[in-house]
Chains A and B, each alone.
Chain A
């Protein structure tokens, strides 16, 4: 079970409160977690990564275990603490706009 924390605007869009808990098949990576997230909440498609290229949107960042994972490969394993559910994957809208 993977825990994911969404930014406030996307919690409203997905009609969720608090953390999202996902069952992810196979290795826990950014890609597999986002695939599972979008499968459960189709309205999030296109908001975190581009529909076609699947690249992370520039102002979306991924953090976990006090580390910035935004520039990791989408297929790199997430930290064990995230994979085990001990720590959440934090999806954050970058602070921008003055």
Chain B
């Protein structure tokens, strides 16, 4: 093997480490790869020489915002620091691994995580959304778990904007096309339309998986002489620079199309990979495992090596390629999907290969674990990367970005909906109120979402106990005992825009409430923080405040953040999206048969409203419908949320309630309609006691979005016991009506009766009108 500085490979001009040392002045395209001058200088300092082309490729992707969290790291730290003993009790694996792991009891563990795939889903909606599902599912497999369900919170531009249909159709078909092919039920999510997301739709994806405690796997490469293997799909030219170029920059009309940076998914390959990995885990055939997502092989090799106890040597020409013309740098950066990297002991090689052959999965042995502390990557034996893997994976730049409360924040908060121009014609007569309820439940954000959810398989697996449109998705984990999990995701960008600290807390409170409404005990949090550019001090303040709010609230609610993702640069030109911290809460049900659905069914059951109502219309769906955004979001009372949660959980466990629905966007009006339409069973409601107790008018009682509330249906036989429980816990509760199965309508005193048929027609017509 030649070692001269002028070494030329048969295929490429190879920039070896030796060559780099001898040619310090060679111009490198660091700016095109997304690095800043100071970051490139830092790479040179870390290496003591200029990087090779391959090293530059690795550092550029791994030090990107998407992979390194360089702008948010200083703030995210709070999730690890503000942790009480109560929060640690059930945490088996915390932040930092592919996904956190929570103890479910009976030897079961659950892992879940939410991630963004925003930018690719705007550029190429189908593939962007599809590979978002693929990536989060591989994170779950990497922990040793069997994935059991997915969810997808979605935020699009204005419903009537011509481009929204393109993104909506593509993203929904992509999530369905990929997720449905994996055999994972889609059990819920969100759908929001707002023009702030026009050029920056948010396509977030959540996956949850379960495993036995002994099956937990971590991403590290330990044990000198163990072999490193890459398996799954071949490496191609798709997604090169996806993390650094797409996910870490704002969109701008003046730059060329970024389509080549979007990955293309193959769900069949992923399904086979899932089963293949589970068989590897079952046979204890891998020592460490890591999925290949953002930054591809660069990320997998540097993370595995730096989390292990030694180093790693890899021969890059051993990588199986889809396109033989790829350069070493491209191979290192490619984000081709459906690939995994594992560390296997020499004794297990034959057994490993047998599993690959059974599932017809391609694999190639790339190298082995060493004890040098260095990550060495060679190309036909010549060293093209020689780095301390920690400097790539963990010691990236960290920025203390300047942040400050925006100058406009005070003016926005002072601009309350009440008394505004948009509030001029507030409905009060019975016919006006009936029209208002119908308008609300057919509005873009409150309408029926089955146009989307009917494109997802909610049945596969046979363990789905609840899915959309109930408050939370519920999946059985253990068929013998009925042990299961509930999941909900929530965010309200409007609330968070008005007050980032409390807005983030409101997202957590709602997800927490949704899980408790289903009857599950909330246990853990995963968050996907979607924000604009961190280089804008206003946005950075929103991010800092949201993280501070979220971490403070987690302490009060006693549930830890076990993982998540930050998505920055969601802005078009200088206009950022609303700050959108999407919060997922996972809860546990000892027996999913005890879950509480969101609709009532039994004639004559008493309907109770839990919690109190204040005049809180700022940021509400009603104000949104009237084109107003200002004032302060509803007040957060986390102690009340906890108390409400306990009531809902106990009532579910002890069979005191047959239905429960949380009050959130759209307030009591939306909840009453949804609980009636869920099973097509009407109700008679009288709110006079609520108006008297809370000092609000009927409109406010129906449309205010005060937090910490739920409506429940209580069997007659349980009414005394239920009331006693609420009284004992000192929680406000009022009987507001009765289930009326025969009427076929929702009757609210002071509102013209609402026939369920016409409510349903209005509720279901909106999405087909715009998207069919």
Whether A and B are associated in the same complex: the answer reads: no
Residues in B lying within 8 Å of A, measured CB to CB? none
